[in-house]
Structure 1
Amino acid sequence: MAIKVRYYAAARDLCGCSEESFQGEADRFSQAEFLSSIGARHPGFQEHAGRMRLAVNGDFAAPDSVIRDGDEVVVLPPVAGGRNEPLAAIRRAPLSVEEVMDAVRHPGAGAVTVFTGVIRNHSNGKSVSRIEYEAYEELAEKEMRRILERTMIESPGVLVAAAHRVGTLAVGDIAVVVTASASHRAEAFQACRTVIDRIKDTVPVWKKEWDTAGAADWVNLEV
């Protein structure tokens, strides 16, 4: 089997290279086996292997995933802010913008951008009095985290976080908060927009809009 490996930041320094290839007879590796193989090749890496995360083919590797022939593996040390997992939350209580911002703040961030989605009083020419959000909560948080991790892989040095509210929200309430931090504003703005667009596309959250007359419709599926 042949596997291409790329290293970032401290992992690159420990291994003395930015990328290399691994050849082997086995048809698959567990993540622990693969990290051990890196340590055998680069002794300085071994004592830090337990703190590294792996991304495989552009997504963070799930704990039980394996590495196969032809995969591209990226070895990632702990991020600058010391967070191993991004904040991805489904909440029933009102959202705290500061909490989501704090999840991406760190001394190396020169820019922190924030998007807040707020309930407005109209939609498609109709008045809106309130919105009811429903989610498959466990899967929604998992998908949000996948989106955040994918965005950070695509934009090294960027941190992102997100929280979405469920339940009944009134006009003016905050439904979703997305934050991004980076060294410069352009990267932070782009990451924030990428995350909210992906959340709207794939996270299993649904909303029912209520008008001022008491009628209600599910958005994108009138029944």
Structure 2
Amino acid sequence: MQIDYPPLADFRKRVRMAVNESIAPASTILDDGDTVAFIPQVAGGSDVYCRLTDEPLSVDEVLNAISGPSQGGAVIFVGTVRNNNNGHEVTKLYYEAYPAMVHRTLMDIIEECERQADGVRVAVAHRTGELRIGDAAVVIGASAPHRAAAFDAARMCIERLKQDVPIWKKEFALDGVEWVANRP
């Protein structure tokens, strides 16, 4: 690909390639049906809360993950399934994900959000599977010594999640079913 697309030379320095959910060298020969992902370099701590699950989400778990004696403000964002979208009466949603890449990408986003200001902590939980109206689809928590940094980190996290994380949403409405593109 690099021969056909020279700009990829710089791109390769900043990402790792995964084939079928395993890190692979750039020289890997692909077979029909292989799944390829380009994963940004990630560095993360062991105390980071990042969860992808088909079980109901816990706001308390996310809040506990970002709490601490030096944190003066905490923001919790809960994205829930609503009963309408663009004039369609929604009955339920179904979320699918590429789990290995979701974890790596969320860890990178969390790290980026935490670098925005001293003392920021971020935690993320996202659902997969079938969700009904009112169910929590995503819970994001951000805390910081001061409230402004916590609000900024929470907003940055949800915007980046919607833009970069490989989670797809199928919307079931009274007038049909469709995969819905993520929008910031």
2:113 and 2:173 map into 1 onto residues whose CA distance is: 36
1:149 and 1:160 map into 2 onto residues whose CA distance is: 8
The question of 1:219 aligning with 2:180 is answered yes
Matching residue's letter, 1:217: E
2:96 and 2:42 map into 1 onto residues whose CA distance is: 27
2:46 and 2:147 map into 1 onto residues whose CA distance is: 23
SS at match of 2:118: coil
- Report the alpha carbon displacement of residue 156 of structure 1 after superposing the two structures with TM: 2.0
The question of 1:88 aligning with 2:32 is answered no
Structure 1, unmatched stretches of 5+, are 1-58, 63-82
The question of 1:206 aligning with 2:168 is answered yes
SS at match of 1:190: helix
1:203 and 1:115 map into 2 onto residues whose CA distance is: 17
What is the root-mean-square deviation of aligned Cα atoms in Å? Answer: 1.7
Q: Identity percentage over the alignment?
A: 41
Aligned length: 142
| Counterpart pick for 2:90 among 112, 128, 131 | 128
Asked whether the 8 Å contact 1:60–1:150 carries over to 2, the reply is no
- Report the alpha carbon displacement of residue 192 of structure 1 after superposing the two structures with TM: 0.4
| Counterpart pick for 1:98 among 38, 44, 60 | 60
Cα deviation 1:72-127 (Å, max 9, x = unaligned): xxxxxxxxxxx644111101100000001110100111111100000000001100
Q: Which has the higher contact order (CA 8 A, sep 6+)?
A: 2
Asked whether the 8 Å contact 2:43–2:108 carries over to 1, the reply is no
2:121 and 2:46 map into 1 onto residues whose CA distance is: 11
Paired position in structure 1 for 2:80: 118
Asked whether the 8 Å contact 2:102–2:167 carries over to 1, the reply is yes
Higher Rg:
1
1:92 and 1:60 map into 2 onto residues whose CA distance is: 25
TM-score if structure 2 supplies the norm length?
Answer: 0.73
Cα deviation 1:41-96 (Å, max 9, x = unaligned): xxxxxxxxxxxxxxxxxx7547xxxxxxxxxxxxxxxxxxxx64411110110000
Higher percent of residues as helix: 1
Paired position in structure 2 for 1:177: 139
| Change over 3 Å in CA distance of 1:60–1:166 after alignment to 2 | closer
Paired position in structure 2 for 1:187: 149
1:152 and 1:109 map into 2 onto residues whose CA distance is: 13
Asked whether the 8 Å contact 2:116–2:153 carries over to 1, the reply is no
2:174 and 2:133 map into 1 onto residues whose CA distance is: 11
TM-score if structure 1 supplies the norm length?
Answer: 0.61
| Change over 3 Å in CA distance of 1:100–1:61 after alignment to 2 | closer
Matching residue's letter, 2:177: A
| Change over 3 Å in CA distance of 1:132–1:102 after alignment to 2 | same
2:46 and 2:149 map into 1 onto residues whose CA distance is: 20
Asked whether the 8 Å contact 2:169–2:181 carries over to 1, the reply is no
- Report the alpha carbon displacement of residue 154 of structure 1 after superposing the two structures with TM: 2.3
